[in-house]
Amino acid sequence: MSEPVANQDIETLFSEQRRYPPPPEFTKQANAQPEVYGKGLEEFWREEGEQRVTWSRPFDKVYEWEPPYAKWYIGGKLNVCYNCVDRHVEAGNGDKVAFYWEGEPSEERRPLSFAELQSQVVRFANGLKKLGVKKGTPVGIYMGMVPELPVAMLACTRLGAPHTVVFGGFSADSLSGRMTDMGCEVLITQNEGWRRGSRVPLKKTCDEAMAQAPSIKACVVYRRTDGEVNMEAGRDVWWDELLQDTSDDPNSCPCEEMDSEDLLYLLYTSGTTAKPKGIVHTTAGYLVGVATTHHYIFDVKPDSVYWCAADVGWVTGHSYIVYGPLCNGTTGILYEGTPDYPDKDRWWSIIERYKVDILYTAPTAIRSHMKWGPEHARKHDLSSLRVLGSVGEPINPEAWVWYHENIGGGRCPVVDTWWQTETGMILITPLPGVTTLKPGSATQAFPTVDAAVYNEHGEAVPHGGGGYLVIRQPWPAMLRGIHRDHERYVQTYWSKYKDTYLVGDGARVDEDGDFWLLGRIDDVMNVSGHRISTIEVESALVDHPKVAEAAVCGRNDPATGQAIVAYVTLKGGDEGSPEMLSELRTHVGQRIGKFAAPANVVFTPELPKTRSGKIMRRLLRDVAENRALGDTTTLADPTVVDELSRRGREEAAKGDA
């Protein structure tokens, strides 16, 4: 087992020297200018609060900080739906497209204007009212990527009803646990969804979940496919039937006036074994935080076509598909399916069709595209792209450079954005047009964000050093706690250092003060007394021209404490060979040092990942130690570990021979 970081800082070994200064033509037109870094916390967020959001009552005070709880925009009143929808229609932008929706079956697509969005939201909010939903009623949402998902979220915010969206890949148990924890009274779903050509039985999962979640009194079912589902009389109602005779006149369902600190939503973070935490996000600080970061970090223009290719069920989708972009009146893409359906060029065909200028995705997706090869992107005109983004995991420098060259044509700044469900908004990121980019580094804290890297004793490590990432000042979209669990909130985030938010990630700061994220702190290995982060060895492996993806972990070793086991996927579906193995060991030895060369290499066509695309190193450790596998319920594809265990055993047997 790898130990958590104990008494020493994390050693940092992998050095990436490539630099990409901002192109001058980009700088000239950029939303962010260097001056944004010069403002104080209160000044910056007062100005943003005044200009990004329409208030029905202005706030009296920017923030109050009584650790570990902050309040923002105190005294202000506003409504999120009004800000994301109604005000754009009132301003004469009703015809502007809010979302271009692409169904997975490729013949299905439709644009949704802000006026149409308003009409659908008003009708659905009126429908929810019929079911007794009002200010404060908790509502659960379990859907795929259909326009009705943001419609449902916005209808909740119109009524002042807090929601929790549960990603459509979660099991009935995960769903019922969340429904019960929040006390949801209504659950909104669809009969079935589409994923890689197969039907996802969403309503059926809801039925199983509702059997264990007695708080739910009503279930609204959107009809996405022609699939039959069980409808329980008195509880289940079809979306279209609920909407019969409902008005779409905005005055028939005025936006509820909410306090800045009223609950907007809970989003559960899927812990690996422990009970998920209901992360609390409130209204004004969250909305201002996501709209502001969206504006500066993605350089969004009034005519932009912006695509965040995440799922709305994750925080990335909440903040950067729904609330941030809609608050800014931005045209977005909503795509229902997977990147390889029906073919591996699906994403690039979407970019070409809608002339997308901003693409925001995750390293796992970029590495998949890398594995499939750049020829799929070459079939399409991607010249509309201006800005590329990455989120969710550290991005290996080679994947960054591949993305920059093959997707961005070498001209688009890549913003590697670091944040969490808990932070609500991006906190560490380059600003395009301002920041000199370094592949693999999230570079600088967003203006006013006080990020630092601490050692065990709560001292900032000097430049060049590694340790625990912390945030020392509040920010507007920060979590307001864990739902009904103050103790756990304090214990998880606020007990290691006084009045300082413990992120749970390792990081290093380089000589220029730029941040390099090193993954979760329990992913650190200890080899012969060197504390090495998994990401650095992985990046050294991916740096080899034949490697598409790599994950490493430590296993117990009598000689070195831990030895490194690497799981490697080769490009173009190649199988590994003994020659390749020694080539990779030499390569890591050259990039980092001989002690970091993997003791074992397991070649595998797939790595085990969570449904949000993060590599599950805990399972890799189990495989490496030949242990019974721990909880695999959050795995996207459980068959991957069986195959890995088999290959792992083969590899170990070779070692014994």
Binding site for ligand PRX (CB under 6 A): 269, 315-316, 391-394, 416-421, 442, 504-505, 517, 519-520, 612
* In the complex, minimum distance from the CB of residue 542 to ligand PRX, in angstroms, rounded to a whole number: 15
- The separation between CA 514 and the C-alpha centre of its own chain, rounded to angstroms, equals 22
Q: Any idea what DSSP says for residue 163?
A: E
CA-wise closest residue to 268 among 150, 170, 364, 187: 170
- Three-class DSSP category at 3: coil
- Three-class DSSP category at 332: strand
Tokens standing for residue 47: 């100005």
* In the complex, minimum distance from the CB of residue 356 to ligand PRX, in angstroms, rounded to a whole number: 20
Q: Judged by CB, which is closer to ligand PRX: 86, or 393?
A: 393
Interacting residues of 566 by C-beta distance below 8 A, sequence separation 6+: 537, 538, 541, 550, 551, 552, 584, 598, 600, 601, 602
Tokens standing for residue 415: 């913003």
CA-wise closest residue to 264 among 281, 247, 287: 281
CB burial string 169-188: b at 16+ within 10 A, e below: bbebebbbbbbbbbebbbbb
Between helices 172-182 and 202-211, what is the axis angle to 10°? 50
Residue 512: count of CB within 10 angstroms of its CB: 12
* In the complex, minimum distance from the CB of residue 643 to ligand PRX, in angstroms, rounded to a whole number: 26
Q: Judged by CB, which is closer to ligand PRX: 391, or 564?
A: 391
Q: Judged by CB, which is closer to ligand PRX: 435, or 645?
A: 435
* In the complex, minimum distance from the CB of residue 269 to ligand PRX, in angstroms, rounded to a whole number: 5
Render 536-563 in DSSP notation, one character per residue: HHHHHHHTSTTEEEEEEEEEEETTTEEE
* In the complex, minimum distance from the CB of residue 657 to ligand PRX, in angstroms, rounded to a whole number: 38
Residue 366 and residue 400: Cα distance in Å, rounded? 8
Asked if 222 and 143 count as a contact pair (C-beta separation under 8 A), the reply is yes
Q: Judged by CB, which is closer to ligand PRX: 263, or 428?
A: 428
* In the complex, minimum distance from the CB of residue 395 to ligand PRX, in angstroms, rounded to a whole number: 7
* In the complex, minimum distance from the CB of residue 494 to ligand PRX, in angstroms, rounded to a whole number: 16
* In the complex, minimum distance from the CB of residue 438 to ligand PRX, in angstroms, rounded to a whole number: 13
Q: Judged by CB, which is closer to ligand PRX: 421, or 569?
A: 421
* In the complex, minimum distance from the CB of residue 244 to ligand PRX, in angstroms, rounded to a whole number: 39
137 HSE (CA, 13 A, CB side): 25
* In the complex, minimum distance from the CB of residue 446 to ligand PRX, in angstroms, rounded to a whole number: 12
At residue 516, φ and ψ (nearest 5 deg) are -120, 115
Q: Judged by CB, which is closer to ligand PRX: 354, or 419?
A: 419
Q: Judged by CB, which is closer to ligand PRX: 143, or 517?
A: 517
* In the complex, minimum distance from the CB of residue 253 to ligand PRX, in angstroms, rounded to a whole number: 32
Q: Judged by CB, which is closer to ligand PRX: 68, or 440?
A: 440
Strands (E), 233-363: 236-238, 258-259, 263-269, 277-282, 305-308, 331-335, 358-361
- For residue 64, the surrounding DSSP H or E stretch is strand 61-66
Q: What angle do CA 422, 425, 428 make, to 5 degrees?
A: 100
The dihedral through the CA atoms of 38, 40, 42, 45 has a sign that is: positive
- The separation between CA 287 and the C-alpha centre of its own chain, rounded to angstroms, equals 17
Residue 525 and residue 534: Cα distance in Å, rounded? 7
Q: Judged by CB, which is closer to ligand PRX: 143, or 507?
A: 507
Q: Judged by CB, which is closer to ligand PRX: 82, or 468?
A: 468
CA-wise closest residue to 362 among 413, 399, 326: 399
331: β partners: 305
CB burial string 623-651: b at 16+ within 10 A, e below: bbeeeebeebebbbeeebbeebbebbeeb
Asked if 162 and 139 count as a contact pair (C-beta separation under 8 A), the reply is yes
Residue 134: count of CB within 10 angstroms of its CB: 12
Q: Judged by CB, which is closer to ligand PRX: 4, or 573?
A: 4
Q: Judged by CB, which is closer to ligand PRX: 8, or 269?
A: 269
Q: Judged by CB, which is closer to ligand PRX: 87, or 483?
A: 483
71: β partners: 64
* In the complex, minimum distance from the CB of residue 506 to ligand PRX, in angstroms, rounded to a whole number: 9
Residue 140 and residue 219: Cα distance in Å, rounded? 9
Q: Judged by CB, which is closer to ligand PRX: 124, or 400?
A: 400
Q: Judged by CB, which is closer to ligand PRX: 237, or 478?
A: 478
* In the complex, minimum distance from the CB of residue 392 to ligand PRX, in angstroms, rounded to a whole number: 5
